[in-house]
Amino acid sequence: MEGQELPYVLVDSIGERFGVYEDHLGFLKKRFHLITMKEYLENKMFLSKKIRAIYIWYHRPAINEELLQSLPNLKVVASAGVGIDHLDLKLLSSYGVKVSNTPFVVSTDTADMGMALLLASARRLVEGHEMAVSPDTEYFPADWLGVEVSGATLGILGMGTIGYKVAERAKAFEMKILYHNRNQRKKEEESAVGAVYCKKLDDLLQQSDFVLLAVTLTPQTHKLIGKRELELMKPTATLINVSRGLVVDQDALVEALQNKVIKAAALDVTYPEPLPRDHPLLKLKNVIVTPHIGSATKKTRWVMMEEMAESIEAGLAGLPVPREVLP
């Protein structure tokens, strides 16, 4: 793009809590003129017609109609990750703006995270670590036991790319695999991982020792797992969530854990994030909570950034947008 002005791209910030990573800047600044929200708000008169794309990292900057009205030349919004519940796709489409995300690059790491949470919960790794390093520990109790993973039944709710990769990993642990999905997978795909389709969610919940959630957050999956669903699960079962916090009715989950309706939960996602420091989920011994780090590896975050840049460049050149999300 030598001799041409670089396209202006709006970002939330650089560095800081939710900003573009510092080690991504060299790559991005060769391709775009990055404008932070602070810079934009301080100089809207000049910048409003310049900005042609928005780069969304950690769901920021937030896009609403007021912002869209102020950016008449906006062509494309590139969002990191797989979830798009933070975007109003119909609103963006009404302004002629194309949207992309990075759904496939996150799947391997998120599947790894799902298995890590399953194993950590089953073998009580967090509790065990706390016991091992506690200054009050004088001995390790012989009856301090976890539960077996090998031979246990894993129910996967949402058999998309992430769910299927979890199944591949669970097969290596000799687990029995059930799954519930909007559409049944091909027979050869089921056979490859030894997965059995449950047309009814209730059947999966009643049979599984571990229930792993890997669905997209939509109006249909909002609080999909509530009081009724938790009561269908085995009292020895563990719930694992690597999708979105709002897929679970969190109040119902707290009650189920406190009353031993289910054995445990391992959550990479909650609502809100982070939870208030006095939230009951943070006080329960049978819960593991991690800070939404399913895709948080250096390599994956770099590839996410590259894919977002690719989508912006394609959209601004009038080419088909890779990984476009349609309303």
Sheet arrangement for strand 287-289:
195-197, 176-180, 153-157, 210-213, 238-241, 264-267, 287-289
Q: Identify the active-site residue in 24, 60, 185, 244.
A: 244
Which residue, chain included where needed, has tokens 């017609």?
A: 49
C-alpha separations of 2 from 5, 6, 264, 306 in Å? 8, 9, 57, 20
Exposed e or buried b per residue across 293-303, where buried means at least 16 C-beta atoms within 10 angstroms of its C-beta: ebbeeeebbeb
Contact (CB, 8 A) for 101 and 81: yes
| Of the candidates 98, 93, 59, 57, the residue with the CA atom closest to the CA atom of residue 75 | 98
| CB atoms inside a 10 Å sphere around CB 271 | 12
Residue 5 DSSP symbol: P
C-alpha separations of 36 from 86, 146, 302 in Å? 19, 49, 20
| Residues 63, 54: Cα–Cα separation, whole Å | 9
- The helix/strand/coil state of 199 is coil
Q: Identify the active-site residue in 130, 148, 174, 273.
A: 273
| Residues 144, 128: Cα–Cα separation, whole Å | 9
Active site residue 148: no
Q: CA-CA-CA-CA torsion for 134, 138, 142, 148, nearest 10 degrees?
A: 10
C-alpha separations of 20 from 209, 245, 299, 302, 305 in Å? 40, 24, 15, 11, 9
**Could you tell me which residues are beta bridge partners of residue 176?**
153
Active site residue 273: yes
Q: Identify the active-site residue in 60, 180, 292, 301.
A: 292
User: Known catalytic residues?
Assistant: 244, 273, 292
